[in-house]
Structure 1
C-alpha cells in the first residue's frame, strides 16, 4: 500500500508536497510557513505570487513552482516510492519519530530506504573524526557492538572514519543501525560507503535523508544532517574528534535538544582527543565503558552490569577470556557458554577489546596472545 494512503494524504497532495519540498530556498521553517498559511501544499502551489511575497518568501521559490525540473523531480520521487523497502515519512504521519518531532526544526519529509520502524526505536548517535586513528576506529566498533547488543539502534552519518566504524560495529553483531545522509539517497556520499549502506539496508537497517533524492553533496547540508542524528537519539557519543570537528556541532545540537552527550577521552598528546576533552570540560559525560552510558539513560538501568576486566583480581583470568583461549566463539556462543545475558557479554567484550585482550574477525571473537 502506498505511504500516502497510510498517512491520509491524497495522491495529488503527496505530489504537491514533493514539489514544494524541491523548491529552492525552502527549508523546514519556510515549508511549514507555507502549509500553515495556505492549509495544504496543493493550495500553496496554486496561490498567487503576491501571496508568497506577503510571506516574505524568496522570489526564486515562487518562480520555480511550475518548472519542469520541480515537476519531474516530484514524479521521480513518486516512482521511487513504488519500489519495495522505500518510504516517505511526513511530519504529520502518525509514525513520524516522536523524539525528532520535538526539535525546533524537524524535517517535514524523510526519505527512507530500509526499515522505517527503526526510527521510533531507542537510538544512540555515534559520531567522530573522518580521519580517525586505528585505536579510535576500534573503539567505535567495540562500543557500537555493545550498544547494538544492548538493544539500541546505532545512528550515525555514514561518513568515513568513526561513522563508518560505528555502523559496521552494529552490523557485526547483527544489530540495527541507521545512516543519516547529507545528500539525497540516490546521491549517497561518500561513494566509498555505497556497499556499506546497501549492507545496512539488506540486514534490516535503514538509510534516511530529508533532502530530495537527487540532492548533491553541499557543505551546508551536513550541519542539517547532524541535527537529525541528535534529534533521533536519546544521546550522542563522540568517540574521537579534534576541536574543529563537525562532531562537536552534533554534540552541541544534542545538548540544545535536551539529549545526553557522552565523550570518550584520549591521550593529551593526541589532537583527535582534544574535541572530546573540550566536551567533557563543558559537561559531557566521560565514558570509559558502555555501563557509563546505560547508567545515564532512563529505562535502561536494569540491564545486567558488565564485569570490568580492569577490576579482576590479580592472577585470575577473565571468564570470557578463559573461554576464548579454549576456542574462538561468537558473541551468542559466549552468552550460551558463560550463562551471561548477551548485553553483559557484549559489554565485557568491549572492555577486553579496548584492553587489546581479544579481537573480532568475521563475527567470531579470538583471544589475543599475551
Structure 2
C-alpha cells in the first residue's frame, strides 16, 4: 500500500505516542493541526526536538507507526486523527479526546444525530437486566444510536436491546480492534457490525486489555453520546467513571430510579446517590424514559447539566418497564 494513502497527521500522532512518556495530550500539543504531506516527518521531528524528545527514537517510531497504520488499513479498519475529516465532532469537543480513533464497521453511527450511552454494572439485578435491554430498545426505536462498552452485564444487555429494535450500536473497546474482549461477546460484536454498527478504540492493533484502559475508554462512551443512561451502579462502581466523565463533558445524565424492593441492593446505591445529589434525572418508568429522550433532542451537549424531574400527570401515559 502506498504511504501517501495514509494520513500523515495520523502517522505523526501514532509515532509520538510510541515514545516513552508521550501520551495523547502531549502528542496533540506537538501536532496541533493537520500536517502537510510534504516534509511532514521533518516538521514533526523539528517540533519534537524543541519539546526535548529524542530524534532517533522518533524516526524509528515514525517508520513503525507508518507500517502499523498500513496494516490497519489493509485489515479493513479505518482510523482518524483528531485533525482529520471524519473524526466525530462530539468527541472533538471533550476535554481529553483521543489523538487517533480506530473504527471497525460503519462509521455513520459515530455521526448520528442522536446518540445515547447505556451503561452499568457487570452484575445487574434481575430488574436491572430487564430495564437495560428494554431502555436500549426503546431508545433505538426512537432513532437513537446506542453506545456502550461490550462488557458483561448492562453493556451487553444494552447492545442486545439495540439489536432487538434493529438499531445501530457502537461498542467502545479498551484494546486493539484485532480482538474482542470479553471473548464471550464475539458473536454480539459480529451482530452489531452486521446491523450497521461499529467497534471503536483509541488503541492500535495488538494492544491487549489493561485495567486502566477500561476507565479511560469510559470518557469515549460518554464523549460519543448526547446523554448517558446509567442502569445500575454501586457508589464506588466502575460505572462512576462514566458518570464523572459525562459531568465533565456536560452531557445530560439519567439513571434508573428503582422500585423500593430493589433499593437495598448495593448496586443501586449509586443511582440513589445521583438522584439525591441532583446529578441525574431519575427514570422510574417508560413514560419518564420517553420524556428524557425527547429532552435529549432539545438539549445537545452544552453547559446544560441540571437534571429535570419527570412530570407525568396522566396515568394512562405511564408504562412500567
TM range (shorter): 0.7 to 0.9
* Aligned-residue offset at 1:43: 3.5
Unaligned runs of 5+ in 2: 300-311
- Structure ID, larger Rg: 1
Q: How many residues align?
A: 297
Alignment partner of 2:254: what SS? strand
What residue in structure 2 maps to residue 218 of structure 1?
210
Deviation at 1:189? 1.9
Match of 1:286 in 2: 282
Aligned to 1:65: 58
Q: 2:255 aligns with which of 260, 263, 269?
A: 263
Aligned to 1:208: 200
Alignment of 1:233-312 (within 5 A): 233-266=225-258, 267-283=262-278, 284-288=280-284, 289=286, 290-299=289-298, 311-312=315-316
Of the three residues 84, 87, 94, the one matched with 1:96 is: 87
SS of 2:138's equivalent? helix
What secondary structure, in the 3-state scheme, does the structure 2 residue paired with 1:213 have?
coil
Contact 1:23 1:65 in 2 (8 A): yes
Distance in 2, matches of 1:71 and 1:161, equals 41
> Which residue number in structure 1 is paired with residue 303 of structure 2?
none
The match for 1:22 among 14, 18, 21 is 18
Distance in 1 (alpha carbons) for counterparts of 2:158 and 2:20: 34
- Whether the 8 Å contact between 2:116 and 2:146 is mirrored in structure 1 is yes
Counterpart for residue 304 of structure 2: none
Q: Structure 1, residues 119-160: CA drift from partner, whole Å, max 9, x if none?
A: 111210111001112321111000000100100000011111
Could you tell me whether the CA contact under 8 Å between 2:13 and 2:81 is conserved in 1?
no
Distance of 2:253 and 2:266 partners within structure 1: 20
- The one of 123, 126, 141 aligned to 1:131: 123
Q: Partner of 2:164 in structure 1?
A: 172
Deviations 1:86-112 (A, max 9, x none): 211221223221211111121121100
Give the conservation status (yes or no) of the 8 Å contact 2:230–2:255: yes
| 1:51 and 2:50 matched | yes
Please give the per-residue CA displacement for 1:153-175, whole angstroms capped at 9, x wherever unaligned: 00011111100110111011110
Are the counterparts in 1 of residues 121 and 237 from structure 2 also a CA contact under 8 Å? yes
User: In structure 2, what is the equivalent of residue 360 of structure 1?
Assistant: none
Please report the RMSD computed on the Cα atoms of aligned residues, expressed in angstroms: 3.0
Q: Mean alpha-carbon deviation: is it higher for 32-41 or for 136-145?
A: 32-41
Q: Which segment is superposed worse, 16-25 or 286-295?
A: 16-25
Deviation at 1:63, TM superposition (A): 6.6
CA distance in 2, matches of 1:229, 1:96: 15
1:195 alignment partner in structure 2 = 187
Counterpart of 2:302 in structure 1 is: none
How far did 1:16 drift? Answer: 3.7
Q: Shift of the alpha carbon at 1:73?
A: 5.5
Q: 1:118 aligns with which of 95, 109, 119?
A: 109
Q: TM-score, normalised by structure 2?
A: 0.82
**8 A Cα contact 2:133 2:162, kept in partner:** yes
Q: Where does structure 1 lack aligned partners over 5 or more consecutive residues?
A: 301-307, 313-346, 355-370
TM-score by length of 1: 0.72
Distance 1:102 1:227 in 2: 12
Paired position in structure 1 for 2:100: 109
Distance 1:3 1:128 in 2: 42
Offset at residue 19 of structure 1 (A): 2.4
Change (3 A) 1:260 1:205: same
Aligned residue for 1:225, secondary structure, equals: helix
Alpha-carbon distance between aligned partners in 1 of 2:103 and 2:282, rounded to the nearest angstrom: 33
Cα 1:88–1:243, aligned 2, differ >3 Å: closer, same or farther?
Answer: same
Shift of 1:74: 4.2
